[in-house]
Amino acid sequence: MDAHPTGPKENSVDLDALRADLEQVVRESEATIAALNAEEIDEDGDIVEDDAAEAADFTESDREDAMVDAAEARRAEALEALARMEAGSYGVCVDCGKEIPEARLQFRPEAARCVEDQERFEEAEA
Ligand SMILES: [Zn+2]
């Protein structure tokens, strides 16, 4: 009769929705990596490898390598976020330990840091 929501109530962040988002990021990144690593996909949707043709075109290959690197980095971030969910530390900045705002997690579910620490982190990397 009364349809009450299930799941933990102590946390306002909808972890199930964010987990689904992260799993989608992982799938999309893997599809991107597979597509970039493949010369073509046949009519059954199977990837047809053609390493010789790819190796012959270094410029195209370099550009694709950069895109693969970006997709792999995003996939790794999403997997790390999923691991933090399993560990119960998800949604907390890995640097300062403060809660990451829900709006930021919805925009970037793989975020490991609050906005301030992410900016500091990126400046340090640059
Ligand atoms: Zn922080």
Sequence-separated (6 or more) residues with CB below 8 Å from residue 123: none
Give start and end residues of each alpha helix (H) in the chain: 15-37, 51-56, 58-87, 102-107, 115-125
What is the residue whose two structure tokens read 């970006």? 70
- In angstroms, what is the span from residue 122 Cα to ligand 1's centroid? 13
- In angstroms, what is the span from residue 90 Cα to ligand 1's centroid? 13
- In angstroms, what is the span from residue 20 Cα to ligand 1's centroid? 24
pLDDT recorded at residue 118: 95
- Number of C-beta neighbours around residue 104 at 10 A: 16
User: What is the C-alpha to C-alpha distance for residues 90 and 22, in angstroms, rounded to an integer?
Assistant: 12
Residue with the bigger pLDDT between 2 and 29: it is: 29
- In angstroms, what is the span from residue 77 Cα to ligand 1's centroid? 16
- Number of C-beta neighbours around residue 27 at 10 A: 12
Rounded to two decimals, the pTM is 0.71
- In angstroms, what is the span from residue 115 Cα to ligand 1's centroid? 7
- In angstroms, what is the span from residue 112 Cα to ligand 1's centroid? 9
- In angstroms, what is the span from residue 68 Cα to ligand 1's centroid? 28
Residue ranges of the domains in the chain?
15-125
CATH superfamily of 15-125: DksA, coiled-coil domain (1.20.120.910)
Residue environment code for 82-99, b if the CB has 16+ CB neighbours within 10 A, otherwise e: bebbeeeebbbbeeeeee
User: What is the C-alpha to C-alpha distance for residues 20 and 22, in angstroms, rounded to an integer?
Assistant: 5
pLDDT for 61-117, tens place per residue? 788 889 999 999 999 999 999 999 999 999 999 999 999 999 999 999 999 999 999
